[in-house]
């Protein structure tokens, strides 16, 4: 369902180690908002709900809430080095329109809740 590159996994695991909480995992999801209608969410969590779906990528636990799954099927997360910095990139085959900053999107079947763009 979600593909995470080996380099992205390596960076995420480094960040997880800094949390000093062995129960932490990666949570990926979407929420209504952003310039195009939906915004991505990616962060660490240590609490699960009955609405969560558990995945594993390269030995790392990944959790996605059931409502986000239709918007994230086929999602690819990577990490790109750029000069002296780097960052995570997201490629979503479900997105038919994205915001200029790339942090929000809409799909062919769901528009979400678009907000005023701060660009």
116 assigned to some structural domain? no
> Can you give the CATH number for the domain in which 33 is found?
2.60.300.12
117 assigned to some structural domain? no
Question: Whole domain around residue 87: which residue ranges?
Answer: 2-107
Per-residue pLDDT at 24? 95
- Helix (H) or strand (E) run with residue 56 in it: strand 52-57
Q: Which residue has the tokens 């695991």?
A: 13
48 assigned to some structural domain? yes
Per-residue pLDDT at 84? 77
Tally of structural domains, the chain:
1
Per-residue pLDDT at 96? 75
Residue 4 CA to residue 78 CA, distance in Å, equals: 6
113 assigned to some structural domain? no
20 assigned to some structural domain? yes
Under-50 pLDDT residues of the chain: 119
114 assigned to some structural domain? no
Residue 97 CA to residue 99 CA, distance in Å, equals: 7
Whole-Å CA distances, 51 to 44, 48, 60, 63, 112: 17, 8, 19, 10, 20
Judge contact between 33 and 71, C-beta under 8 A. Answer: no
118 assigned to some structural domain? no
Q: Is 70 helix (H, G, I), strand (E, B) or coil?
A: helix
Per-residue pLDDT at 48? 94
76 assigned to some structural domain? yes
Per DSSP, 21 falls in state -
Per-residue pLDDT at 100? 65
- Token pair listed for 35: 């310039």
């Amino acid at each position: 369902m979600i593909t995470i590159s080996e380099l992205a996994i390596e960076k995420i695991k480094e960040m997880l180690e800094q949390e000093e909480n062995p129960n932490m995992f990666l949570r990926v999801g979407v929420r209504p908002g952003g310039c195009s209608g939906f915004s991505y969410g990616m962060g660490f969590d240590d609490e699960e709900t009955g609405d969560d779906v558990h995945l594993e990528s390269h030995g790392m636990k990944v959790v996605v809430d059931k409502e986000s799954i239709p918007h994230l099927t086929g999602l690819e997360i990577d990490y790109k080095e750029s000069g002296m910095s780097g960052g995570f990139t997201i490629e979503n085959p479900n997105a038919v329109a994205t915001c200029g900053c790339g942090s929000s999107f809409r799909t062919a079947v769901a528009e979400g809740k678009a907000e005023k763009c701060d660009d």
